[in-house]
Chain A
Amino acid sequence: MIATIVAATMLLAADPDTCVVLSGTTIYGESRKQELMSRSLGSVEVGRNYLENHFSGTLMQRLRTIPGVQSRSIGSGQSKPAIRGLGFNRIAVAVDGIKHEGQQWGDDHGLEIDAFSVDRVEVVKGPGALLYGSDAIGGVLGLYTNYLPTGPVQGKVQFSARSNNEWLGLSARVEGRQGRFYYRFHLTGADYGDYRVPVDSIQYYSYNIPLKDGRLRNTAGRERDGSLALGYVGKTFRNDLTVSDTWSKSGFFANAHGLEVRLSDIDYDRSRRDIDLPWQRVNHLTVHDHAHWHGPGFILDADLAWQHNARMECSEPVSHGYMPTPPDAVERAFRKHTLTAKAGVRIDWTARHRLLAGVDAEYQHNRRSGWGFIIPDFETASGGLYAVDRWTLSDDLVLNAGLRFDGVRTRIQSYQDWYETLGEYKLRSEDLRKTFRSLTWSAGAAYSTGPWVWKMNAGKSFRVPIPKELGADGVNYHIFRYEKGNPALDPEQSYQMDVGINYAGDRLNIQVDPYLNWFPNYIYLNPTSGYYEGLQMYAYTQCAVLRYGFEVQASLSFGPHWETEIRGEYLHAEQLSGAKKGYTLPFSPPWTADALVRYILRPGTSVQMDLRLIGDQREIVPPEKPTDGSYTLNATVSRQFPLGKTLLKVNLQVENLLDRRYYDHTSYYRLIGVPEPGRNASLLVGLEF
């Protein structure tokens, strides 16, 4: 038997999934307490079982049961991640340690990741700049697919189905290990129909849009993903080469896209599974090589990755204002190449000091096409250097402190309209070269006494303005507004203080995570009172923002069969300066609380009921509407059946059992009055061999 020891995923390890493989022994590196002590900044880690037991659509919808993690629904069964209310480019999503780079600025752009290939998720709630540089200002969502197979041939087949959008999915994995070599092959396919909501009509842009059978027209889609990993696992050296490709095509809600509400000739109600215009199609290809070498007192990790993100958004060509009818349906298309290189080392330089140091570099090249302009062409090169010392004063007290320096250079290309406005081809974006530098730091302590672990961390993070913020000058076709970039923006900075209090008793576990966060210059898209060509002007500005909140989680077990759990989160955000002084930030999540009861018959077989309470959100900014609170009742049944040498896992989850109509304040479609789905059953059947 070959077993693995998961090496301590120490604070800021260059690749947190460092695995050291020993023959013939099984050593569990850290107990839960030691794991808690290894970091001063709060993080949550979930494995495959958790992901399977919370199957309910997108990966992000599964993760939102973690306090402090929100999923922002963008329609058509897709959602965007947010950590403590910050999303888009304010969190870093990393796959096997490489920052995922798509067009994540887009309101309706989902994550181009095969959710079924993810084995483990790690959420860093708080500034993660030290690890990932720019963008990790609000946190890091680390997804890991590099689970190491143990037998010569093993794998699983998973079938998934959802009632709301009639989702059908099939995912299969075959993997194995022969001596020092291993392979992993994964394929996923899914098809889904139009998204269903418990209303007959919605109000959009002051139009009344009747819905047929409560379905959001043309939100059907499909997804095809594949990946292949080949690896070598030696005594001191390991190498993993992964090639993965995700492809998806999905329709945009036909009644809420484009420059105005249209009555198209397309018969959208003909079928609820077809994809008509307008639609989006994305292909994301990643080639990633990871090398790992360890010896006495040191671990070295190096990564090289290339990502190619090709996105196309098509809609019916229609003349509008001064723009004549475009020649084709390609409204927007983007091609983005991202090259990433990084290396990190961990050295135990004395018995009590452990040094983590690293260097990383990234190059992005983005090209646009199509008749709708929103962001200019750009190239961005960035590099960073960091060092962290972890000082173990005693078994009960660990201190750490780190520094990071980043340099980012962005070049934005000019763009001119392809049509004339009153005799002139308008210049929408000017040539721009910008260099940003940033010094960030983090320091913290972890202290344990008896069943308690106390943590405190303070840190500074930064985010370089993205080309949309610097150089946008055009119509946002999805939200009917004109967005104006600001080339004078400074890198956004954030100071955050986190406290983590953990109590681990025999039956009772409590985790409380309060935080305080201050942005001196948050980049905010301010709705102004001005107009530009008939569209309300939104302009990028910077303002001070204060945010604070907490997450709490407590579980209590009664004997071997019964468990109860309470989870909750609260967040307050307020702009302290600028045009919207006193207002909150857009899409501020309301408080939520969950109360769960779980009956565990035996490991793998359980029944769970969950009551979710969602608070009112009265803190709004234009153009938001206040959102009333609500509650939902959800149930999950899981069961495992051993079948010979295989294991059959069945998981059935029913969300919103009472079929209540409610709104999610953080949903993209909240602005147009689309409620959350009604009763929705999700089934996941997996066969492991």
Chain B
Amino acid sequence: MKSNLSLIPVLLCVLGACSRPSASRDLVPPEIIGLGEDTAPLNCQHFTRGDVIPFAYAFRDDIELGAFNLEIHNNFDHHTHSTEAEDCEEDHDHGEGTAGENPWVFNQDYNIPAGQQNYEARVRIAIPYDVDPGEYHFMIRVTDASGWQQIRSVSIYLE
């Protein structure tokens, strides 16, 4: 009973000191924005093996950006549809319905310098010569410092 009563002021103290709502909470995810004419890759865009994908997008957050990731994987089984409004014409000539022989896998994490609310991301991604041609997905993922995430998926073709 004694320990019971002595806890009341302690707990009330904690309650009083800590229940004030904190104003600095971030409740808004970051954004992925095109860079005008430089924007790449665009949905349904074609690229050539041995060439380069000149990735160019901007990220924006109301408080602070976190990190971003670029990932490319095959869509030979047409497993997904992109987040872009228009659907691309499906490619039935290459790797159709198979796992492919040497599908391209690209997966890279990138840091964004601390304290940024806006960031222009430009990455030149070299496409290997020897990978399977066909439909691929280009995934753009960005976080803010609080852990909110925004995703965009773009369909691309390798020739």
Contact = CB atoms under 8 A, between A and B. Distances in A.
Interface of A: 205-208, 260-265, 318-322, 324-325, 399, 401, 441, 443-445, 456-458, 495, 497, 516, 518, 526-534, 536, 546, 548, 572, 574, 576, 579-583, 620, 622-623, 626
B73 A531 contact: no
Contact of A443 (B4, B22, B141): B4
A263 B81 contact: yes
A527 B80 CA distance: 26
B143 A536 contact: yes
A529 B11 contact: no
B148 A321 contact: no
Nearest to A401: B1
8 contacts: A319-B99, A321-B71, A321-B107, A322-B107, A443-B4, A518-B11, A529-B143, A583-B25
Nearest to A583: B25
B145 A529 contact: yes
B80 A207 contact: yes
B18 A534 contact: no
A206 B152 contact: yes
Contact of A546 (B3, B19, B24): B19
Contact of B78 (A263, A528, A532): A263
Contacts of B78: 263
Contacts of B22: 581-582
Nearest to A626: B27
B79 A623 contact: no
A620 B146 CA distance: 12
Contacts of A261: 79-81
A458 B11 CA distance: 11
B79 to A, nearest CB: 4
Contacts of B14: 518, 546, 576
A468 to B, nearest CB: 19
Contacts of A207: 80-81, 83, 153
* Secondary structure type dominating chain B contacts: mixed
Nearest to A444: B4
A329 B135 CA distance: 25
A516 B77 CA distance: 54
Contacts of B146: 527, 529, 580, 622
Given A207-B81, A534-B139, A529 B105 contact: no
Given A207-B83, A495-B7, A622-B147, 18 more contacts: A264-B79, A265-B77, A319-B103, A321-B107, A444-B4, A495-B11, A516-B12, A518-B14, A526-B147, A529-B66, A530-B67, A534-B71, A548-B19, A576-B14, A582-B21, A583-B25, A622-B146, A623-B148
Contacts of B67: 529-531
Contacts of B80: 207, 260-263
A300 to B, nearest CB: 29
B123 interface: no
Contacts of B19: 546, 548, 572, 574
The 4 closest A-B pairs by CB, nearest first: A529-B66, A582-B22, A527-B147, A531-B109
A536 B4 contact: no
B69 interface: yes
Report which residue of A443, A548, A583, A622 has the largest number of chain B beta carbons within 10 angstroms of its beta carbon.
Answer: A622
Contact of A399 (B1, B105, B147, B151): B1
Contact of B109 (A206, A530, A580): A530
A620 B27 contact: yes
Given A263-B79, A443-B1, A518-B11, A206 B147 contact: no
A376 to B, nearest CB: 24
A625 to B, nearest CB: 10
Report which residue of A320, A399, A518 has the largest number of chain B beta carbons within 10 angstroms of its beta carbon.
Answer: A518
B1 A262 contact: no
Given A263-B78, A445-B4, A531 B143 contact: yes
Contacts of A626: 27
B73 to A, nearest CB: 7
B1 A445 contact: yes
A380 to B, nearest CB: 30
A534 B12 CA distance: 44
